[in-house]
A and B are shown apart, each in its own frame.
Chain A
């Protein structure tokens, strides 16, 4: 951890600033090395694998084949041209659309519901602390556990959700939520919104509590309608906090794996980019092909983040405050 240079720095006659910078270097080095080993290096290897024909049994025997895992154009002897590779693979594009549809719908719902809950919690009422504790529970429950809990509640024969809806007369036949292609995505969305909307609410609430109370007071005295107060005062003031919360949620949603894998296994209607990549990597023995898909997912996320920061002018680093 420490290094002999730190103690002796004074004796060498370095200026205070130089001494501090030298110490900073040694303080940062272990972290940088650790992050290089678990993030940068594996990422580079994944990208490299995507350009080879490596297989699971022979990790070091792969030959460089260029971009063939992404797109390969073959001209057959009879003159017809065939396209191969991930970029023309319908299963991959299905996964891309599933992921995007899931992310956009879930994050939108979570933001709206989360903001709603936050507005309720921002009001003064008896038992507010208890409610705030209660909404932390879905966040604290491991994703796998929530997937299993909801799989049981959404069970077609014995599930409580079908029972409630039958009793209320909303449906007349039991729905196979997780098994049917029409409802599998809805099932995943329900669980994800349940798990993360309360968390969004807490982030929004933190933003709301930074809005000075006297602004509301002034608006009330001037007789401004509460809806107008929300759109003209509250929302613009919490927009920066909201933008950052949305991007973090969006990134989480775009890489979703565990919930889909456990709640709706092998359903084409919900298979996301992470799920299909892992399937190719470790289940279908298409190691290089799966690497190409995970590299694409990385590229899509990187582009999304850059666009978002650039267009939304989001200050993520907190520097220069």
Chain B
């Protein structure tokens, strides 16, 4: 009987180990590769053989990659700030005020968040060319609104709906206008939710590829995903795996740290945005 129990818990822990290895190994291997150069790249190593920073030096000392990182930081931050500004007031209206067509508006917002981005690509390209914004960060900031705004509105609306009526009623009795209610009553309560949604929207903008690939034309204007995807070596045949892995680690480590620090909040935010049974 005891042997049976032992076997059971051993196989359970084995399963846990498999799950962890399956999740973490590729990232671990990218880190190992990023520290290998020359011939070390062309034989498989399961453990780090050397701490050679030259891949990092070549990526960060390169002409464009540092600029690409700055582009990504700027674009993602402005996109998030813009989306949150519009979303706070909109979600108050959607969550707390009864008006006709509210359910329809909510469904439309959800519909937009499910949009295949390719369906607006031709139209957005025309718009950006008309506004003379192609190959500038603004083309991406404006286009990213299509997925960050519906998402932030949706999550903040679900969050605000769950706040008790009483706090608002007290403010109304005191004669507060809706604007005062949002800024003085709801905003202080919403900080945690706004940090989470902002972070998720930031990750979405940071990782976006299709618009960034289409609306940038020169190397300096690229964001990091496009730069990594199009990173090429001295010749067409030779793929610079070392620098690619170094660049990948550079853009991923901050995200992984953020996600691990905020993991509880992120899971809560994703469940509010995705699963609402």
Contacts and interface: CB of A to CB of B under 8 A. Distances in A.
B207 A142 contact: yes
Contacts of A294: 116, 118-119, 121-122
B74 interface: no
A23 B203 CA distance: 32
Interface stretch (B54-62, B124-132, B190-198): B124-132
B271 interface: yes
A123 B89 CA distance: 41
Given A24-B178, A137-B27, A150-B26, A131 B12 contact: no
Contact of A144 (B87, B126, B229, B258): B229
A43 B90 contact: no
B137 interface: no
A35 interface: yes
Interface in B89-106: 89-90, 92-94, 97-99, 102-103, 105-106
A44 B123 contact: yes
Given A39-B112, A45-B123, A241-B275, A133 B93 contact: no
A198 B86 contact: no
A181 interface: no
B97 A20 contact: yes
Interface stretch (A82-90, A199-207, A227-235): A199-207
B167 interface: no
B228 A158 contact: no
Given A7-B177, A24-B97, A28-B94, A59 B274 contact: no
A240 B63 CA distance: 51
A186 B243 CA distance: 26
A82 B75 CA distance: 49
A97 interface: no
A197 to B, nearest CB: 9
Nearest to A29: B90
A35 B27 CA distance: 36
Interface stretch (A71-79, A100-108, A276-284): A276-284
For chain B, which range describes its interface: under 10, 10 to 19, 20 to 34, or 35 or more residues?
Answer: 35 or more
Contact of A136 (B15, B110, B259): B259
Interface string A18-30: 0111011101101
A140 B90 contact: no
B97 A21 contact: yes
B252 to A, nearest CB: 5
B237 interface: no
B85 interface: yes
B61 to A, nearest CB: 20
B122 A140 contact: no
B53 interface: no
A12 B30 CA distance: 65
A258 B127 CA distance: 23
B255 A141 contact: yes
B117 interface: yes
A254 B118 CA distance: 11
B112 A35 contact: yes
A202 B277 CA distance: 15
A39 B270 CA distance: 23
Given A37-B127, A142-B255, 13 more contacts: A7-B179, A19-B178, A20-B97, A24-B97, A38-B143, A43-B123, A133-B260, A140-B258, A142-B206, A159-B44, A198-B23, A315-B276, A319-B106
Interface of B: 12-13, 15-16, 19-20, 22-24, 26-27, 29-30, 33, 41-44, 46, 85-87, 89-90, 92-94, 97-99, 102-103, 105-107, 109-112, 114-127, 129, 142-143, 145-146, 149-150, 153, 158, 161, 172, 175, 177-179, 182, 203, 206-207, 209-210, 213-214, 224-226, 228-229, 241, 244-245, 248, 251-252, 255-256, 258-260, 263, 266-267, 270-271, 274-277
11 contacts: A27-B89, A28-B90, A43-B123, A135-B19, A142-B252, A142-B255, A144-B225, A148-B229, A153-B26, A257-B210, A281-B125
